[in-house]
Structure 1
Amino acid sequence: MKRRIRVIFIVFIILSFSFLVYYNQNLEPDWMGISTDSTTAREVLQQAISARVGVIIYIFLMVTASILYLIYESYRVMYDELADRMEMLDASRNDLQTTYDSVNIFFIEIDPDLIIRNTNSAFSESIGKRKSSIIGRNLFAVLDFGVAAKEVLFHALTEAFDGKGNARLETIDGNRIYEALIFPLKASENQAAKVLLMLNDVTRERARERQMLQDNKMIAVGQLAAGVAHEIRNPLGIIRNYCYILKNSDDYERNVIEHAISSIEKAVDKSSRIIDNLLDFSRISNNAKETVKLGEFIRAIISLEENLLETRQIRVSIEGGNDIILHTIPESLEIILINLILNSADAMPDGGELTIRYDKDIGFVKISVTDTGIGIPSENIGSIFNPFFTTKAKRDGSGLGLYIVYNEMEKLQGRIVAESKVGEGTSFYMVFPEQGEEPDDGQRV
């Protein structure tokens, strides 16, 4: 198109100058052959000048017309290009909106005043309103969340508009669990013009995860059953023996009676602790955080595994201060430690040493579980936290233990890494936020 315009312009210029040259040549003979009479000469000169002025005017008009035509063509080309781009933009916008409307995740575009500027069909259908009646309204006037959920979401949106980057969080509203992803749409380097809020109802996914966790706990309970039965059988034997002594003792054997009663009470207390630990471990988690004393907590878990560890001739060492506490979800920490201990026990079928260390850093608590087992090959170390990855026989493992450990660490906002050498053993290093803050990526484990 542009080339055609240039050709037309050049043709006009050539024709105009050709006409001028031709006209000058036709006038030249008349001018050279005129008489010397002044009146006649003046008239001829005036005619020549008039003719040339006419030619100039003609050329000027032609050039002006050419320029105007070129301007017109240029604007028409620009208009056509702009129309094409607008059409492409509309098509792209329609494609984007179609993509928005085709997914079940809620897409909501919000301005700094928390006014909804765009949304998708999934969100409008979920609240039973037309999209046109939603756009232009305040987010929290439309979003039917509880006060606590709104506060969490409001805080995250405020940070996004302040230029603090993307955010990901989960919020619970009644019986529903939503995963919120927040993406600032920046107008400048430090300020967002709009924010894209993506809400995904993950209630079913979290329910399946809880069920998988509970199933894993039941598997662990089954593995513990033999050891627990043995641990309870011993106190029951003590009780039976001292009951026999009491029945056959004379009234004056007071010291024998007191010793028997004391032994029975200790045996009952030990059995109660074992049963309580097993029940605490097997119960369904409510994800409530509590403050636990790590030393007591770890020893209670070891007591559940005591028979298994003794049977396999595994020596256990627990190293750490008695005053170290951790604000965490006890059930999640139990699952993590139980799975790591069972994993270490499986790695030491011929006996060995299991060392659990815990220590406190500034704002963080560190726990490590180290065994002297067979170790993990270097080509497998990067896959051990993947679901269903296992090097055990099918009947001995599902491949979900360390996967669940990793997910529970994520839930507790912690970090876990593994180091291993074949033939020397494996160490798992964990770091937990002391009060629930997320550890820095640069925090050394």
Structure 2
Amino acid sequence: MRAKTRYFCQACGQQSTRWLGRCPGCGAWNSFVEELIGPQAAPGELTAGGDQPRSITEVPVLEVERFQTELGEMDRVLGGGIVPGSLVLVGGDPGIGKSTLLLQVAHLLSSRLKVLYVSGEESSSQIRIRADRLGALSPGLMLLSETDIDAVERHLRELAPPVAIIDSIQTMFKNGVASAPGSVGQVRECAAQLMRLAKTTGISIFLVGHVTKEGLLAGPRVLEHMVDTVLYLEGERHQFFRILRSVKNRFGSTNEIGIFEMKVNGLVEVANPTALFLIQRPHGDVTGSAVAAGLEGTRPLLLEIQALVTPTAYGMPRRMTAGVDHNRVALIAAVLEKRVGLNLGSHDIYVNAVGGVKLDEPAADLAIACALASSFRDVPVDAGIALAGEIGLTGELRPVTGVEKRVREAFKLGFSRFLLSAQNASSIKGEHGVVAADTLAEALELALKV
């Protein structure tokens, strides 16, 4: 008997027996997706294997030993290793290096335990060619080229590998769902089946999901609430650096990052990313350049912020950013014009975080403001100073978190001064080289060379 399907609006939950271009409930366009409808249990009827309510004090505590991948950056992002029975989603743009990273992880794990790598995009022979290039050949690494999710589950139950990789979830399909592979209905059903398998057997499963620039493909955006951990591999395809960012983790801290460098033999972890990002920093008196002391998860990260302020040649000034939030830069420019007196309204503004890194925390405000003021006034920022501080709309300098880690990292890399808010400076009294300011105007006087 063929399974029943229904169409649901992703915006309001409206149900329909057929696809509709516009939802009659909320008016959203192209929001209906197909989903599989299972048999409904009768009221009061318990499903097989259902759990019973009990006190939290009666629930036994399980000591879970994580699998170490031997890739330090990967273990950092996962929160210390792979938790048995976890479902991990690795998302990112096509061609960014997701399959390469997971094949390397599978190879490292296969030296100690059995790993099954399931590919729906490549044949086993094609994966072997890539493994030869990466040097990822091991007898414990099993390959399977399959797209039928029921067949994949059968092989997983027979082999019972501690770790499995599904590349990618968009290529998997389930018989009974009328929609094509990659649709929201297919992806959700396949992911739900793998989730039940992981929780009942203890197999740790990695799912690869593609993301388009619109974020509309049935990938990580649909699956985020179903999995235990969501990792995003970020970076420009023309840059050497790749950043693995944790945006959701039930077994560790979120916003943790791991940094890799793309080379011929695959992704190589970067143990000291700050030194690598600042190695090409221009020396001497260069205007429009400042160093921001950021904090990604538990890792301090110093990045160069470059700004270019030039009189506009058109009626409407341009505001362009790369690696920093566009709206945040517009806010800082408005504060500089109103509170400091810099006439930026008739100038084009370009701001860039060097190295292809995205820096979205408010602590970068002070470095952005100093870089903008330096370019506008044509006065360089002190090359030996690192900056961290949030800027308020009234022009005050606000405190940031994790200031001790930021200061320690800056001084370790040879910076002689660290500029932050007066509130932060009071919490680390006695640290030589720490300078404080209450307002943005005071901070610019301390940071810019006169």
TM-score with structure 2 setting the length:
0.23
Bigger relative CO (Cα 8 Å, ≥ 6 apart): 2
Q: If the length of structure 1 is used for normalisation, what is the TM-score? A: 0.23
